[in-house]
Amino acid sequence: MRLSDVISRNTRFIKRYKKSEDGTTAVEFALVAAPFFYLLLAIFETGMMLFSEYVIDNGTAQASRLIRTGQAKDFTQQEFKDEVCSGLAAFLDCTNRLYVDVQSFPDFASVNSISAVDGDGELTDDITLNSNFNPGAELEVVVVRVYYDWKLITPGISLLADLANGRRLLSSSAAFRNEPFGT
């Protein structure tokens, strides 16, 4: 096969393609592109949300270890929140969307559950305004709860929302007995 035959064949193909002006490819792309990109965005956002939940779990576990060993007994709530935030990804808004609640109990039977969401789909005042920070004394049972208010951006995936206005509550908790760290 000669070079001129290859060039001639390619030239005919290009001319045939160039003459085709019926637009079916563009119409097909237009029909498929919108759902494809929507699905791609929904998958990306769901992945980011799951990754964020994993990171919040890890940050909660690391910061809770400080309470368990007595290193955080003199912390304020803000200092403990900063410790949780130090283990989180930079794209998470710790200042406005992260809430920390730390309570101590004499034993595991005394631990009570709290509802983080009210009937209107909003965070309760117990979480946003009246959250506790009581890291407890040695050998007391401590429950650490961390909540993150995630704003969904992809329209239509509101089935994932458990808060009002298309938001989802990401939460992490740790329950443990403090070590005998002494005074």
Distance of alpha carbon 156 from alpha carbon 38, whole angstroms: 9
Alpha-carbon distance of 128 to 174, in angstroms, equals 19
62 domain-assigned: yes
Average pLDDT, the chain: 88
In a domain, 113, yes or no: yes
The answer to the question of residue 8 being in a domain is no
Q: pLDDT for 47-88, tens place per residue?
A: 999 999 999 999 999 999 999 999 998 999 999 999 999 989
Please give the distance of CA 63 from its chain centroid, rounded to a whole number.
Answer: 18
Residue 53 lies in a domain: yes
pLDDT tens digits, 17-40: 665 566 777 888 889 999 999 999
Does residue 126 sit within a domain?
Answer: yes
Is residue 76 in a domain?
yes
Radius of gyration for the alpha carbons in the chain, expressed in angstroms and rounded: 27
Task: Report the domain count for the chain.
Answer: 1
- DSSP 8-state symbol, 90: T
Residue in the structure block whose two tokens are 């969904």: 152
Q: Is 150 inside any structural domain? A: yes
Closest CA to 96 of 128, 125, 52, 74: 128
Nearest-angstrom CA–CA distance, 172 and 56: 7
Whether 18 is in a domain gets the answer: no
Question: Which residues span the domain enclosing 96?
Answer: 47-177
